[in-house]
């Protein structure tokens, strides 16, 4: 009886797995991504867990560092909801991200996963070295410091969104087109990218303050 029950259970599992579907973002792009092998510090600071839709309604700011657990595409979506007039318009932000990823897929070729391009952009966009103020009142000097991996991810996201917002302002191009352009340029380490420009500038200032 045990063997028969086991066989029935296996058959049932097989039937279920036939209809089970791999989780893809917006039902289009899978989460099988390759991380940078030379710089592994950022891997733990980004949550690339598979999701259908980047809207969890989670409370990620309730505890320090909890935002690491927030899906990274949702964090990018949240970054778009800035400057007062955009506050709270999350569905609009989600649609912008979706269109941007579709544009990346078309520009890079249909066999390219736009999430891989986004991952490369986030790995490239954050400055690795920055300068801080050292000393009390009176003598204050700048000292170069290493940037924490989480801060690198945060700054990369903020710079990518800031650059695309600046490009889209008073321009015939839509926000999603500008975001797609910025992500592609940043992923390629192109100096025309706003994020890469800012990153090199910060690193140059930090180098002079070593």
Helices 114-125 & 90-108, crossing angle to 10 degrees?
Answer: 100
* E-state strands within 13-159: 129-134, 141-146
Least confident stretch, 6-10, 15-19, 104-108, 131-135:
15-19
- Provide φ and ψ at 127, rounded to 5°: -70, 140
End-to-end C-alpha distance for the chain, whole angstroms? 75
State the pLDDT confidence band at 93, using cuts at 50, 70 and 90: very high
- Reduced to 3 states, what is the DSSP secondary structure of residue 67? helix
- Give mean pLDDT, residues 76-100: 89
Torsion of CA 123, 127, 129, 135, to 10 degrees: -140
pLDDT at position 95 over 90: yes
Cα–Cα distance between 79 and 159 in angstroms, integer? 10
Cα–Cα distance between 113 and 31 in angstroms, integer? 9
Instruction: Give the model confidence (pLDDT) of 150-163 as tens digits.
Output: 999 999 999 999 99
Residue among 68, 51, 99, 72 at smallest CA distance from 107: 99
Instruction: Give the model confidence (pLDDT) of 45-73 as tens digits.
Output: 888 888 888 898 888 889 998 888 889 99
State the pLDDT confidence band at 3, using cuts at 50, 70 and 90: low
pLDDT at position 187 over 70: yes
Cα–Cα distance between 49 and 58 in angstroms, integer? 14
pLDDT at position 21 over 90: no
pLDDT of residue 160: 92
- Give mean pLDDT, residues 3-15: 70
Cα atoms found within 13 Å of the Cα of residue 118, Cβ hemisphere only:
29
Distance of CA 45 to the CA centre of its chain: 10
| Residue 209 DSSP class | T
pLDDT of residue 110: 76
pLDDT of residue 139: 81
Cα–Cα distance between 2 and 4 in angstroms, integer? 5
State the pLDDT confidence band at 18, using cuts at 50, 70 and 90: low
Given a contact cutoff of 8 angstroms between Cβ atoms, the answer to whether 121 and 135 are in contact is no
């Amino acid at each position: 009886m045990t063997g028969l029950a086991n066989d029935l259970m296996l058959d049932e599992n097989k039937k279920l797995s036939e209809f089970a579907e791999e989780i893809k973002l917006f039902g289009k792009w899978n989460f099988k991504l390759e991380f940078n092998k030379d710089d592994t510090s950022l891997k733990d600071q980004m949550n690339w867990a598979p999701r259908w839709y980047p809207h969890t309604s989670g409370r990620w700011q309730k505890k320090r560092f909890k935002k690491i657990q927030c899906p990274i595409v949702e964090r990018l979506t949240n970054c778009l909801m800035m400057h007062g007039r955009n506050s709270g318009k999350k569905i609009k932000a989600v649609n912008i991200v979706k269109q941007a990823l579709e544009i990346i897929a078309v520009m890079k070729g249909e066999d390219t996963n736009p999430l891989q391009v986004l991952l490369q952009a986030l790995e490239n966009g954050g400055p690795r070295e920055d300068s801080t103020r050292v000393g009390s009142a009176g003598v204050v000097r700048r000292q170069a410091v290493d940037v924490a991996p989480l801060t690198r991810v945060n700054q990369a996201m903020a710079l990518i969104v800031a650059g695309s917002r600046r490009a889209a302002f008073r321009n015939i191009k839509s926000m999603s087109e500008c975001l797609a352009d910025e992500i592609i340029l940043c992923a390629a380490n192109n100096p025309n990218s706003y994020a890469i420009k800012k990153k090199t500038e910060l690193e140059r200032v930090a180098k002079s303050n070593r």
